[in-house]
Structure 1
Amino acid sequence: MSKARLVITAVLVEGRSQSQVARDYGVSQGWISRLIARYIVEGDAAFEPRSRRPKSSPTRLPQATIDLIIELRGALAGKGLDNGPHTIAWHLEHHHRVHVSPASISRHLHAAGLVEPNPRKRPKTSYIRFAAEQPNERWQADFTHWWLADGIHVEILCWVDDHSRYALSVTAHRRVTGTVVLDQFRKTVEAHGIPYSTLTDNGMVFTTRLAGGRGGRNHFEAELRRLQVRQINSTPNHPTTCGKVERFHQTLKKALKQQPPATSIAELQTHIDAFVEVYNHHRPHRSLPHRATPATIYTSRPKANPASRIDTHNRVRTDRVDQAGSVTLRVNGRLHHIGIGRHHYRTRVLILAHDHHITVINATTGEVLRDFTLDPTRDYQPTGAPKGPKRKKP
């Protein structure tokens, strides 16, 4: 039996006073008065719990905006494009002049049952992210697999700018060979200039460094050497090193799945070209500042090249000493850990990098914590202090 029914029975049937019932059941006398008034008007319906929803919600989004959010979600998903809260907020602001926070959009998407929770998904904050400082400073390349309508297997070769995520070249082929890689690289260079460096995996079409020295350099490696382009290859079994082009493959395939299956490589190339136009010039990119498009970022800064690239290691960056007593600095594409000392845990620091000469300064006090020459062959740069507690002399 509910407390409301007990209270009404005690007052109306037993004839006890409201003040006495309020003391016996630990409720307010005002609540008892309202409950009895409801019972007289509504009868047994007074025992049912009532909604606590306010009569009005002045900050609630208009229904037209909610409908627009759901419509944009479906339209973007139908094209195979990103349709998360941040992207929807960008489209609302730029195309409809409506300002809605991503949190509000996420809440309404959940309420509409359009979001599938995935609590086991690895949080994005757990990834260490890096990007080139200039356009053409590093081109990532890789190829992925696709199938035509009749089941014929084809391969898609992609070149992506590391700084801006700009899709430089995306082409479909019956099979990606070393000759195809060289030909498409030359066409991309002709269209966008010579890059400072390239980043690929260790596929034989890109490098022969894992072939045991047999055959020498391939055509692509010889072309890079001729142009004085620095070649970077990922560590075997570490696909996240080429994460930008790998992520581009996912985005590309998601869009292609929304198109009718292509019956030929030429038709597939038409689908790819249409997607690249949207991706480069019209689709906001979550990883870029202010959700800009890749084309905007790619054309907003001077391009690096083998002769005139700005040395990105002459710079100042901020960091905080981690629990292990170190900070990190990436030099020539390699991440180095610099020992500072565990007693400086959580201290904010400034890192002054002039080539390999590194100075680490306490950002608050100006105290120099480390001043040394970095050893590019080592990951951890020790402080040189003895490990463990000091031994007492006998």
Structure 2
Amino acid sequence: MAMAKLVVTAVLVEGRSKSEVARDYGVSRRWVITMVQRFLAEGEAGLRPRSRRPRSNSRRTAAAVEDEIVELRKRLTEQGLDAGAATIGWHLGQRHGQAPATATIWRVLTRRGFVVPQPHKRPRSSYLRFVAEQPNERWQADITHWALADGTDAEILNIVDDHSRLLVGSVARSTFRAADVVACFHQAAARHGFPAGLLTDNGAVFTGSYRGGGWVALERELVGLGIRLTHSRPYHPQTCGKVERFHQTLKKRLARQPRAATLDELQTQLDTFRAHYNTARPHRALGRGTPQQAFDTRPKAAPTAAPVTVPAHYRVRRDRLDTTGCVTLRHNSRLHHIGLGRRHAGTRVLVLVHDLHIRVLSEDGELLRELTLNPSRDYQPQPKP
């Protein structure tokens, strides 16, 4: 506005020509003419900056489409289903054969007050993502909690296929024990086949590694089937991110349902949602396809590790070889170091112990060393070739 006053004063008060003023102040002659005309017509109010926004925009989203976007957002949210911009766009495409861009839908939702900025969230680009190449190549399993109508706590075991996101199992119990986890795993495998691997956290029903180094029922069962069992790093749930994210989706759905009074009612809700999630709900990570479609598209993986039969009288523990390629074992309150060679340093192993007879196997079932422990020696060297 200050520049506008200068050029108007130079023309109307000082009597200078518009071309001269434009040249001296480094502006266009057309702009000087416009400012003078506005001043003569409106006074100083005419010199204030004006919006350059066009009076109309032929490409603006129609009000009816915006209303439909808002209606879908509300309905999907009330049903406890995913109501993001991409999902709304998918539903619009199913209705009309075409839909606005995801960014357009996002702007509409933001303008209507449905999106709350959350700048504190960690950017997705900072995560290292991994996806199995085949169905049944890896399953992810985890247990979450849900309260019944009377406030009683229930546990829900969810098992998700890493490649297709297929929900292969969702089971409710008052408390999961080791045998329950094994039974649920076999139920899922009866429907979809055995996976090549299973990924879990370090819960007591999944591993005994952090509780004395022993075995739990699931570990013994999977080793006998030749299925590789791996665990996430302690306090790092992102490794099991797919099943952790599914917990959120499931709870969002359950929160919109009548609160189940019994475990049977909760199980019915889980079974209903499992069918909807697998066959009807479009999944963003699958290009808006369903998990069942992704699971059926590719050949299925199968267990590849050699099955290891562990006699009941054997003591079993999991361990990792140290940097020198040794594993430590306690016998009669004395520590013994068993050498396997530096080439195996860092390898995860199974140690099977029966009195003085010891077998050390890789997680794939390969026998790395078999020996009879010499109780008089702390270090058990490798046999000479």
Normalising to structure 1: TM-score of the pair? 0.70
Q: State the AA in 2 paired with 1:169.
A: G
Q: Which residue of 2 aligns with 1:34?
A: 34
SS in 1 for 2:299: coil
Larger mean CA deviation between 237-246 and 111-120 belongs to 111-120
Separation in 2, partners of 1:237, 1:122: 17
- In the TM superposition, residue 306 of structure 1 has moved relative to its aligned partner by 2.4
Q: Which residue of 2 aligns with 1:211?
A: 211
Residues matched between the structures, number: 311
Q: State the AA in 1 paired with 2:116.
A: E
Relative distance call for 1:70 and 1:377 in structure 2 (3 A) is: farther
Q: Which residue of 1 aligns with 2:300?
A: 303
- In the TM superposition, residue 170 of structure 1 has moved relative to its aligned partner by 0.9
Larger mean CA deviation between 178-187 and 56-65 belongs to 56-65
Which residue, out of 269, 272, 277, partners 2:270? 272
- Residue 182 of structure 2 is aligned to residue 182 of structure 1: yes
Q: Which residue of 1 aligns with 2:75?
A: 75
- In the TM superposition, residue 305 of structure 1 has moved relative to its aligned partner by 2.0
Q: State the AA in 1 paired with 2:295.
A: Y
SS in 1 for 2:195: coil
Separation in 1, partners of 2:101, 2:346: 45
Q: Which residue of 2 aligns with 1:104?
A: 104
- In the TM superposition, residue 222 of structure 1 has moved relative to its aligned partner by 3.2
Separation in 1, partners of 2:250, 2:53: 44
Which residue, out of 227, 230, 239, partners 1:229? 227
Q: State the AA in 2 paired with 1:93.
A: G
Structure 1 segments (4+ residues) deviating >6 Å: none
Separation in 1, partners of 2:121, 2:98: 31
Is 2:226–2:305's contact at 8 Å kept on the other side of the alignment?
no
Q: Which residue of 2 aligns with 1:263?
A: 261
Cα deviation, 1:217-236, whole Å, max 9, x if unaligned, reads 43323332343322223333
SS in 2 for 1:299: helix
Q: State the AA in 1 paired with 2:303.
A: P
Q: Which residue of 2 aligns with 1:142?
A: 142
Is 2:137–2:162's contact at 8 Å kept on the other side of the alignment?
yes
Q: Which runs of 5+ in 2 are unaligned?
A: 307-342, 348-385
Cα deviation, 1:257-315, whole Å, max 9, x if unaligned, reads 23333333233233333332332122222222x23211110111222222699xxxxxx
SS in 2 for 1:145: strand
Relative distance call for 1:45 and 1:260 in structure 2 (3 A) is: farther
Separation in 1, partners of 2:8, 2:35: 8
Relative distance call for 1:269 and 1:44 in structure 2 (3 A) is: farther
Cα deviation, 1:75-112, whole Å, max 9, x if unaligned, reads 33333333333333322323332232223333333333
- In the TM superposition, residue 196 of structure 1 has moved relative to its aligned partner by 1.9
Relative distance call for 1:176 and 1:7 in structure 2 (3 A) is: same
1:1-394 counterparts in 2 under 5 A? 2-12=2-12, 15-43=15-43, 45-213=45-213, 217-288=215-286, 290-306=287-303
State which structure, 1 or 2, has the greater radius of gyration over its C-alpha atoms.
2
Q: Which runs of 5+ in 1 are unaligned?
A: 310-374, 380-394
Question: Sequence identity, in percent?
Answer: 51
Q: State the AA in 2 paired with 1:99.
A: A
- In the TM superposition, residue 51 of structure 1 has moved relative to its aligned partner by 1.2
Separation in 2, partners of 1:80, 1:63: 26
Relative distance call for 1:38 and 1:235 in structure 2 (3 A) is: closer
Q: State the AA in 2 paired with 1:189.
A: A
Q: State the AA in 2 paired with 1:293.
A: T
Kindly report the root-mean-square deviation, in angstroms, between the aligned alpha carbons of the 2 structures.
2.8
- In the TM superposition, residue 25 of structure 1 has moved relative to its aligned partner by 4.2
